[in-house]
Amino acid sequence: MNKSLSNEYATFWIDDGILHFIYHAEVVVDLLAAEKVVADRLKCQEDKYYPVFCDTRGVKDTDKSARDYLAKEGSILTSAVAFLVNPPISQAIIDFYVRTSKPITPTQIFTEKYDALKFLKTYR
């Protein structure tokens, strides 16, 4: 496993050809947070494409500017994205995001980490 990188919103690392990132608890993802998360994700990836596992169970809220930013710039250097959610709130937020912001990368939502990683392994 490569060394990890952490900021006030999330922690990132690469393992088995998949970029993992976990949002910290009670994070509100506004545009500033979204820009910081994308910047650090790209730093971790070092210009390489990766399938991305995103644990969003800690996300408390998002705003539209953040969702729009993540759907476009947040898809850079991603071959696929799997969101891990926890019903009901983080699942509702991510469901809403995928339906309205229409991210350009293949994206799916999971409640089990094993299923999420199984989906991503086909994009390595």
Partner 1 sequence: MILEVASGNFSYRIERSRHNDQLETIIVLLNMMAEEIRESFHHFALINPHETYKQIAQMTFILDDQFYVRNFNSSAQQLLGLPFSELSGAPFEKFLTIDSAELWKKEIGEIKKLNESPYYQTLRLFFASSNSLTVPALCSVSSLVL
Would you say 71 and 104 are in contact if contact means Cβ atoms under 8 Å apart? yes
12, 23, 50, 69: residue in contact with partner 1 (rule CB under 8 A): 69
Shortest Cβ 7–partner 1 spacing (Å): 18
- String marking each residue 86-105 x if it binds partner 1 according to CB under 8 A: --xx--xx--x---x-----
Residue 65 contacts partner 1 per CB under 8 A: yes
Residue 37 contacts partner 1 per CB under 8 A: no
Number of residues that bind partner 1 (CB under 8 A): 18
Cβ-Cβ contacts under 8 Å for 67 (sequence gap 6 or more): 97, 100, 101
Nearest CB to partner 1, comparing residues 45 and 62:
62
In angstroms, the CA 61 to CA 48 distance is: 29
Shortest Cβ 48–partner 1 spacing (Å): 26
DSSP-derived secondary structure for 94-112: HHHHHHHH--SS-EEEESS
Q: Per DSSP, what are the bridge partners of residue 23?
A: 10
Nearest CB to partner 1, comparing residues 57 and 121:
57
Phi, psi (rounded to 5 degrees) for 44: -65, -35
